[in-house]
């Protein structure tokens, strides 16, 4: 089994995830729609989503989930621009306002994401000497 340090594994994962996102679709949206990595917005119950993006509800407290997800997607894309990073996982690693980004995943979970995206098992941790 190949061992990668965390930075190497995240760089490979990030590069693969860039195949899925674009200027209109954040990783949070894509992860939810495609069932990838953390499952994005879809992993949250309606109550959790409303709590996590509560400031967006000030526009319309009665908005439906689909509309809230649409606005949350736009918010995540905006945070990427502000932070000058390619995906919302990177932005949230800095901001930690809607999730912990990459910091919310331990090395075993990063290895699982790698396998999910590439089909290969890896170990994430210090490289053997």
Query: Structural domain boundaries of the chain?
Result: 2-118
> Which residues of the chain are under the pLDDT cut of 70?
127-129
Q: Smallest Cα–Cα separation from 10: which of 106, 123, 110?
A: 110
Q: Smallest Cα–Cα separation from 3: which of 125, 109, 107, 129?
A: 125
Tokens of 18: 């860039």
How far from each other are the two terminal CA atoms of the chain, in whole angstroms? 15
Q: What is the mean pLDDT of the chain?
A: 95
58-84, pLDDT tens digit by residue? 989 999 999 999 999 999 999 999 999
Phi, psi of 18 (to 5 degrees): -65, -20
């Amino acid at each position: 089994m190949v061992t990668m340090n965390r930075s190497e594994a995240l760089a490979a994962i990030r590069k693969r995830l860039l195949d899925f996102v674009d200027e209109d679709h954040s990783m949070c949206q894509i992860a939810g729609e495609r069932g990838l990595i953390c499952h994005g917005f879809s992993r949250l119950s309606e109550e959790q989503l409303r709590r996590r993006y509560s400031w967006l509800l000030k526009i319309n407290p009665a908005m439906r989930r689909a509309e809230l997800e649409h606005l949350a997607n736009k918010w995540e894309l905006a945070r990427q621009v502000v932070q000058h990073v390619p995906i919302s996982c990177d932005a949230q690693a800095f901001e930690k306002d809607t999730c912990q980004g990459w910091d919310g995943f331990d090395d075993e979970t990063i290895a699982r994401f790698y396998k999910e995206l590439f089909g290969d098992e890896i170990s994430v941790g210090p490289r053997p000497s």
